[in-house]
Structure 1
C-alpha cells in the first residue's frame, strides 16, 4: 500500500480505489445527506457508470461524465497521484505536460466514452461498507484475523 499523494477530505468522496480494471468509488450526494453514488470509469474504454446505493441511475450521467465521476477522478488523483491514475486508466496526456486531474479527464472525454452497466456497483458499495465497519472497532493492539495478510509494521511491546 502506498501513501496518499496528498491528503484528501473524505466528506465528498469517502471511498476510491483502482481495482478490477476500473477507477471506482463512493461519492456523497450534494443534495441528500442520506444518499451516495457508486461511480466508476473503465480502464482503456472509459465506459462509465454512476448510480445510487440502491441502484437508481444518476440523472447527470447522460452521454458524458457527471459531477460524481469528476469528483471521483479528482479524489483519485489526490489519493494515488495523476501519473498513476492516468497509467491505470490508459489515458494519454499531452506530451510534456504534467498530468493532473483535468488532463486525465480531458484525455478520456475526447474519446466519447459509453455508459456502462451498473452491475458492478454492489461489490464496490459492499467493500465501502466493510471499510466503514473498521471505524466502529474500539482501539486495540490485538490482531484482526481478516487483516492478517498485512505485513507487520512494528512490534508491540
Structure 2
C-alpha cells in the first residue's frame, strides 16, 4: 500500500511560503517551491490551485507576481490544508466487496471496524486542527543543523 502524499506536499508548500513571507523581497513561484519539494512545478501549481480554491493562498500576476499566504501562518491549520487538497476521504477503507453475511466474522467485521476507524478519524482530525503552519515552520527550523 502506498500513502497519498498530497497533504505532505501541501504542508511543505505552505511552510515554505511562511518562511518566504518573512523576506518581503522574496516571491513564491511554483518553480522555486518545486525545487524545495523536489518535484515538477506542475505538481506544485496543481496543489496551489487547490489551496487557492480553499482560500489559503492567493496569487498575484504581473511583474513581481507569485503566490502568497492568504492568512497568517498561525491561523492556517493542517486540518485546513488536509481538507483543501481533497484528502477528506476516510483514512482506512472497508472491504472492496462485502464479506460473507453467513460467516460470524464476515457478518460483524464491518460494523466493528467502522467504530474503530471513526475514532481514528476523529483523533487525526483533532491533531491536524491543533497544528498550524506556524508550528510546522518552527519545528522545521528547529531541525536545521547548528552553524559553527
Shorter-chain TM-score: what band?
under 0.3
The structure richer in helix per residue is 2
Q: Report which of the two structures shows the higher radius of gyration computed on alpha carbons.
A: 2
TM-score (ref. length: structure 1): 0.27
Bigger relative CO (Cα 8 Å, ≥ 6 apart):
2
TM-score (ref. length: structure 2): 0.28
